[in-house]
Amino acid sequence: MQVNFNIKKTIFIPLITLIAIAFGFIGNALLPDTPTKMTIINRQQTQFTATCPALSEPLLTNNETALPATFSLLNWNIYKQQNKQWLTQLTKWTQQANLLTLQETKYSPAFRQFTQQQQLLPLQNIAFQYQQINYGVNTLSKTTPLQVCGTRYTEPWSRIPKSAVASTYQITGSKNPLLVVNLHGVNFTLTAAPLAEQLRPFITLIKAHKGPVIVAGDFNTWSEARTLTVDQALTELTLNEVTFNTDNRLKIFGRPLDHVFYRGLTVSNARSIPTNASDHTPQLITFKYKN
């Protein structure tokens, strides 16, 4: 499934070709039968099966810590770590981030070793398995998560699932926790309706949440309809989108695929960082919470 970076950056590969590749990939993949088998795992391989919008019971820990009032988040589709520079670049950016929302994460021994060396707490929502390795979104933190839930949404045509994970964190100065949603948007659809359906549990969760909120991910917003679906759903909940003075995000048909939205916070710095370590480029944002 290697895709040339320069080609993907400039043209959108025809849908039929991508689906053919996807079906070839499925032949060796162990795909979940139903979304009810959705499973989130942490560093200890503890399994969480809470399906959003219902958060899990509070996670028991003896090492609860709070995010500082000023903190940074790195959002990045890591392209299954197919490019050799991924580890060097991710290690570098991790030094500047308190939270990481990664999509297309290959939960390999090398990635797990990276999390241990950087003292990160991962929450990997398994979208599918390939050669006995889990793939999906992963939210990593230097702060102990309080609660977690996830979803898994199967692509209507390719049948390869996309996953999302929501987690909460104590934040200094706030009586209510920070809610972080990390979503990899369903992609190969004729309309934006499946993307709207994928968003629905998180809309419900955000409506009920009283603390600050961040929604980040690769939303696959390559059309006007898909972009409007995401924008309208989140702006109706009074979330704002992070903007960049220099925008290096991957664009298809002139539209960026990766987005970060927020509520109850202010943005003090936002960078869209060029790189060849993935087909997507990361966004590094510094937020401030003020009571």
Query: pLDDT tens digit string along 186-200?
Result: 987 888 999 999 999
CA dihedral 48, 52, 55, 61 (to 10 degrees): 30
Distinct helix (H) and strand (E) counts, the chain: 6, 17
The candidate with the shortest Cα–Cα distance to 143, out of 61, 198, 219, is 61
CB 39 within 8 A of CB 249: no
| Average of per-residue pLDDT across 276-290 | 96
Bigger pLDDT: 63 vs 90: 90
CA pair distance 192, 286, nearest whole angstrom: 31
CA-atom Rg of the chain in angstroms: 18
| Average of per-residue pLDDT across 202-214 | 98
CA pair distance 52, 43, nearest whole angstrom: 21
Give the bridge partners for 5, in sequence order: none
The SS3 assignment for 222 reads coil
Residue 158: the pLDDT is 77
CB 113 within 8 A of CB 119: no
Residue 19: the pLDDT is 47
Residue 37: the pLDDT is 63
What is the CA 74 to chain-centroid distance, rounded?
10
- Every domain of the chain and the residues it spans: 5-288
User: Given a cut of 70, is residue 12 above it in pLDDT?
Assistant: no
CB 140 within 8 A of CB 115: yes
Percent with pLDDT over 90 in the chain:
73
pLDDT confidence band for 60 (50 / 70 / 90): low
Residue 245: the pLDDT is 96
The end-to-end CA distance of the chain, in Å, is 47
Least confident range from 9-18, 125-134, 170-179: namely 9-18
Going from the C-alpha of 269 to that of each of 36, 95, 244, 260, the distances in angstroms are 39, 16, 9, 13
In this predicted model, what pLDDT tens digit does every residue of 249-277 receive, in sequence order?
A: 999 999 999 999 999 999 999 999 999 99
Bigger pLDDT: 26 vs 203: 203
| Number of other CB atoms surrounding residue 20 within 10 Å | 12
User: Given a cut of 50, is residue 39 above it in pLDDT?
Assistant: yes
CB 185 within 8 A of CB 221: yes
Scan for tokens 């990276």, then name that residue: 114
User: Given a cut of 60, is residue 137 above it in pLDDT?
Assistant: yes
Q: In the predicted model, what is the mean pLDDT of the chain?
A: 88
Least confident range from 111-115, 189-193, 239-243: namely 189-193
User: Given a cut of 70, is residue 172 above it in pLDDT?
Assistant: yes
| Average of per-residue pLDDT across 93-107 | 97
Least confident range from 19-33, 40-54, 87-101, 140-154: namely 19-33
> For domain 5-288, which architecture applies?
4-Layer Sandwich (3.60)
pLDDT confidence band for 38 (50 / 70 / 90): confident
